[in-house]
Every structure is written in structure tokens, then in C-alpha cells.
């Protein structure tokens, strides 16, 4: 195994293609749906500062490590960790890190697809004027009716999964790459249009104050945990997606430079989403800390009563759908790659098996909002459980394991060979990946289990 090998699945045609794909993986529902509402729940500007610190100190170093491991191994995350642990003379059980990442991505997609289905349902509702002049009770009833209808949710969840698997089925360059070459530019254009629209809402200054004026009295250990978990969630770390995308990266591309670009683009999208959303919330005297319903209950009310709201509401939910799709194809790719490598089946067959299993689990998520709503696991329904397990446990712990392997297990000469960065830059990365990232994740994990 050398850095000159190529994955059997193919590789990205260029550095730009990889940047688009990895940014597409990172930019998803986490940026457009989740970031605004967790910012609202945790006090605004202070939370944004903690989140940016988590991205810089934890996210970027671990993303560099995950891409490096992927390119070094040139296989699915499970087989990559198996090969790299053997190359490093480390315990072969490190391949469970690959399993953890693949399973995390699979679990995330199971509920991700359901939420993406909501965005598709809302595209149709907005197109036919479903939000125009509606009051808060009507908007809430519309959302509650969607939640209470297994058939509606299953239909849109199924449509979204079919679209996702059709794209993944086409392979690296003809499927994944072609999809992100369209989705990412379209996503940025729509987001800029929405920001321009928000600037004319009459509450732009209030939105900016909320988003960027820090109030550290709102920050506690739970807020830090949320910020760190979201940094992993939004950068697609610890779920196998970035590792498998890294395995398709040409050997001449700079991993470090590319990572900074991806993390920067992802952060800009999250902030732009906040800039687009909060002025609309305040202009309509709505609640910024509305939780997950911020996107599907609060914003439709705002769009329904604003000049041009029909068009910009439609653009917003198309944006949400594009963001979800660019991430969903990366979430299932590790499982598809593993099936192709280990089960001796064609890619289209692997897509059918992996997609069907994920779709079936998604049905359980749909039911957790209605007929199984009383079924609780540790006081959480299935959707809440999967979200908590992945964002707050599996992704941070997977990221910590990636950091430990890259910093302590992997031979330094191999890391230097892959990264090809100046000595001082390599030393700074190595310090963060060896000491800062694992320690920070470990301390927050102790808080999760109630030790701290």
C-alpha cells in the first residue's frame, strides 16, 4: 500500500471536485436546519463563538486526520482501518473504528432522510400556496398533521431515499461528483438570495445582534457539549463519510489546504443560514429558541406574511432539500463501498441492500412521531435516541479515536508523507491531534455520562 494507489471505486477528477464533494457532505441539514435552532436554544452569539472554537481546535485537526487515513487506506473505512492498523503494527481491533463510523453514518441517514422528506413535502405545500396568510395555529396544525401521518412521511422518506441511492449507484465521478457539481453552486446561490431577502425584513440588525453579540451567561457544560457535537455533525466527522471520500482523493492534492477550505465553507453556510433566518424570526415577533420546529413551524409563518414570501419560502425548502441530498450520498457511501469490497457484489446491488436497510430503519423513525410516540428508550423516542447517540456520543468518540490513531498509532513518517506540510505546521497539527482534541472530547464525554 502506497500513496500512489487508487481506490477500486475510482477517484475524484480534481481537487475542486473533492472540495465540492466534501463540502457537500459537511453542508447539510446540520447547517440549515439544526444550527439555527440550537443557536437559538443556547443564547445566540456566545454559542456561535464556542462552536467556532470547536471547529478550529477540534474539527479541522480531526478532519485532516480522517482524510489522511482515508487516502492512506484507499478502501472503505472498515478495511482502511484494518489495513492501516496492520501497517502501523497496532492492535487489529482498530478496525472497529471503521465499523463505528459506518454505523453512525447509517443511523444518521435513517432519520436524516425523514427530515429531508419533510422539506420535500413543504416544497409542494409552499408551491401551492399552503402558507399564504396562514396564522400560527394553521401552520402548527399543518406540521402536526404531517407528523401524525405515517403515510405522508413514508412517501417522502421513500422518494428521498430512492433519489439518494440512484445518485450513489452511478459511482464516484458519474454519480457523487456530478451531483455535487450541481447541488453546491445552486445551494450557495439560493442562500445568498435568502440573505438578501432577510436584509429587507426590517429586523436585520436585531438578527445580527442575536447571532453575533455574545451572552456568556447562557453557556454551560451542556451548551459546550452541543457545540462540540455539532462541530462533528456538521463537518461529517467520525461517520466514515470523510474517510471514504478521502480514499478517492488524488495523491497530489494537499489535504491540509483542502480541509481549511471545506471547514471555512461549511462554517460560512451555517452563519449565512443564521443571517437569513433570524431577521425573519424577529421581524414577525416569533420565538428564536423554537427548537426543531423553527424551520418547519416558525419560518413558514414568516414566509406566509411577507412580501415575496411565496417565492423565498419555496427557495428555502429547495435549499434544505439540496443540502440534505449533498450529505445523504456521503452518509451511505461507506456502507456501499464496504459491501462492494467484502461481499463480491456489484455497486448497484450494494446500493439496493444498504438503501433498503436504511429505509426500513427510517420507517421506525417515522413511527416515532405518531403510532410509536409512546415507545421510549431512556426517555427518548427513536428519532431523539438516534440523534443523541450519533451527535453526542458516536461522532465525538469516533473523532477521538481517529485522533488517537493518527497521533499515536500511525507512523510519523507516513503522516508526514501524506500531509506534506511545513515542519511547524505539522508539529502544530500533531500537538492538537495528540493532546488537545482527545482530551477535549474525553472531558465532554465524561459530562455526558454524568461523571463531571
Q: What is the pLDDT of residues 352-379, one digit of tens each?
A: 999 999 999 999 999 999 999 898 988 8
Fold held by 15-448: Hydantoin permease (1.10.4160)
Q: Where are the domains of the chain?
A: 15-448
CA distances from 95 to 102, 138, 409, 423, 424 (A): 11, 51, 13, 30, 31
Chain centre distance of CA 124: 24
- What is the 3 state secondary structure string of 412-434? HHHHHHHHCCCHHHHHHHHHHHH
Answer for the pair 294, 316: CB distance below 8 angstroms, yes or no: no
Answer for the pair 320, 142: CB distance below 8 angstroms, yes or no: no
Residue count (the chain): 452
Answer for the pair 25, 330: CB distance below 8 angstroms, yes or no: yes
Mean pLDDT throughout 125-145? 89
Report if pTM > 0.85: yes
pLDDT value at residue 452: 55
Considering only CA atoms, which of 323, 320, 275 is closest in space to residue 296? 320
pLDDT value at residue 396: 80
User: pLDDT per residue over 14-70, tens digit each?
Assistant: 888 899 898 888 887 778 777 877 887 788 888 989 999 989 888 899 999 999 999
Amino acid at each position: 500500500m502506497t500513496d500512489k494507489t487508487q481506490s477500486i471505486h475510482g477517484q475524484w477528477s480534481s481537487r475542486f471536485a473533492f472540495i465540492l464533494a466534501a463540502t457537500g457532505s459537511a453542508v447539510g441539514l446540520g447547517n440549515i436546519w439544526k444550527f439555527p435552532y440550537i443557536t437559538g436554544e443556547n443564547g445566540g452569539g456566545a454559542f456561535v463563538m464556542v462552536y467556532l472554537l470547536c471547529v478550529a481546535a477540534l474539527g479541522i485537526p480531526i478532519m485532516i486526520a480522517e482524510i489522511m487515513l482515508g487516502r492512506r487506506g484507499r478502501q472503505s473505512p472498515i478495511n482502511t482501518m484494518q489495513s492501516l492498523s496492520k501497517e502501523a503494527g497496532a492492535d487489529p481491533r482498530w478496525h472497529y473504528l471503521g465499523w463505528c463510523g459506518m454505523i453512525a453514518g447509517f443511523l444518521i441517514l435513517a432519520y436524516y432522510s425523514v427530515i429531508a422528506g419533510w422539506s420535500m413535502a413543504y416544497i409542494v405545500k409552499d408551491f401551492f400556496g399552503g402558507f399564504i396568510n396562514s396564522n400560527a395555529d394553521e401552520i402548527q396544525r399543518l406540521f402536526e398533521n404531517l407528523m401524525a401521518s405515517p403515510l405522508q412521511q413514508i412517501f417522502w422518506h421513500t422518494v428521498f431515499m430512492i433519489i439518494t441511492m440512484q445518485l450513489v449507484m452511478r459511482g464516484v465521478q458519474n454519480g457523487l461528483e456530478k451531483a455535487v457539481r450541481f447541488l453546491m453552486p445552486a445551494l450557495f446561490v439560493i442562500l445568498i438570495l435568502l440573505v438578501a431577502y432577510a436584509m429587507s425584513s426590517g429586523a436585520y440588525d436585531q438578527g445580527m445582534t442575536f447571532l453575533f453579540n455574545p451572552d456568556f451567561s447562557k453557556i454551560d457544560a451542556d451548551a459546550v457539549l452541543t457545540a462540540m457535537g455539532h462541530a462533528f455533525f456538521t463537518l461529517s466527522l467520525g461517520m466514515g463519510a470523510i474517510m471514504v471520500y478521502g480514499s478517492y482523493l488524488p495523491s497530489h492534492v494537499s489535504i491540509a489546504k483542502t480541509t481549511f477550505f471545506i471547514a471555512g465553507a461549511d462554517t460560512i453556510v451555517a452563519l449565512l443560514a443564521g443571517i437569513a433566518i433570524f431577521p425573519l424570526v424577529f421581524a414577525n415577533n416569533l420565538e428564536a429558541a423554537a427548537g426543531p420546529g423553527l424551520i418547519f413551524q416558525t419560518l413558514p409563518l414568516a414566509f406566509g406574511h411577507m412580501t415575496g414570501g411565496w417565492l423565498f419560502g419555496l427557495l428555502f425548502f429547495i435549499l434544505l432539500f439540496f443540502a440534505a441530498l449533498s450529505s445523504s450520498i456521503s452518509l451511505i457511501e461507506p456502507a456501499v463501498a464496504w459491501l462492494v469490497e467484502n461481499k463480491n457484489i456489484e455497486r448497484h446491488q450494494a446500493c439496493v441492500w444498504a438503501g433498503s436497510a436504511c429505509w426500513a430503519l427510517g420507517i421506525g423513525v417515522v413511527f416515532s412521531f405518531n403510532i410509536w410516540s409512546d415507545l421510549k428508550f431512556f426517555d427518548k423516542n427513536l428519532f431523539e435516541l438516534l440523534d443523541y447517540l450519533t451527535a453526542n456520543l458516536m461522532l465525538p468518540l469516533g473523532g477521538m479515536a481517529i485522533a488517537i490513531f493518527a497521533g499515536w498509532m500511525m507512523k510519523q513518517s507516513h503522516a508526514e508523507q501524506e500531509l506534506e506540510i511545513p515542519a511547524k505546521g505539522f508539529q502544530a497539527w500533531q500537538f492538537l491531534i495528540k493532546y488537545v482534541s482527545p482530551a477535549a472530547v474525553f472531558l465532554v464525554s465524561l459530562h455526558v455520562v454524568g461523571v463531571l
